[in-house]
């Protein structure tokens, strides 16, 4: 009998999960964003999301999650779901999510 070992993914990975209603930022990336509020932008040409930490305004990040149903509808990306590669840029205080690179 061949056993396969289950190894849970680290919640600290550099990834962002897109679900039906939320953007869930990995713990490592979320801890690097300064502040509890973010603004979300989308680049149609490159199919990338930018989640940028802001001091005021923006959307509240709760437990590394952003309520994003309105964002998905606004940008027309509601069909996108899964876990995606992401990178933090300290100069911009932003996480860039490549929606072309599913993990």
pLDDT tens-digit readout, 47-94: 999 999 998 889 999 888 999 999 999 999 988 899 998 999 999 999
Q: Which residues contact 15 (CB under 8 A, 6 or more apart)?
A: 26, 29, 83, 84, 85, 86, 103
Q: How confident is the model at residue 12 (pLDDT cuts 50, 70, 90)?
A: low
pLDDT at 60: 92
Mean pLDDT of 23-44: 90
H or E stretch at 73: helix 69-75
Instruction: Determine, yes or no, domain membership for 68.
Output: yes
- Our count of domains for the chain comes to 1
Residue 9 has pLDDT above 80, yes or no: no
Q: Which residue range(s) make up the domain with 64? A: 15-102
Residue 54 lies in a domain: yes
Query: Mean pLDDT over residues 7-34, rounded?
Result: 82
Give the C-alpha distances (Å, rounded to integers) separating 34 from 20, 49, 70, 82.
26, 18, 23, 25
Q: What is the dihedral of CA 8, 33, 89, 28, to 10 degrees?
A: -20
Is residue 10, in this structure, part of any structural domain at all? no
Note the pLDDT tens digit of each residue in 27-36. Answer: 888 889 888 8
User: Cα–Cα distance between 92 and 12 in angstroms, integer?
Assistant: 21
């Amino acid at each position: 009998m061949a056993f396969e070992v289950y190894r849970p993914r680290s919640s600290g990975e550099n990834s962002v999960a897109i679900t039906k209603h939320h953007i869930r930022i990995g713990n490592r990336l979320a801890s690097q964003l300064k502040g509890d509020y973010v603004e979300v932008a989308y680049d149609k040409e490159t199919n990338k999301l930018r989640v940028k930490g802001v001091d005021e305004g923006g959307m509240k990040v709760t437990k590394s999650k952003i309520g994003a149903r309105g964002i998905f509808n606004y940008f027309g990306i509601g069909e996108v779901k899964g876990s995606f590669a992401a990178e933090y840029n300290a100069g911009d205080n932003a996480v860039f999510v490549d929606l072309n690179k599913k993990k």
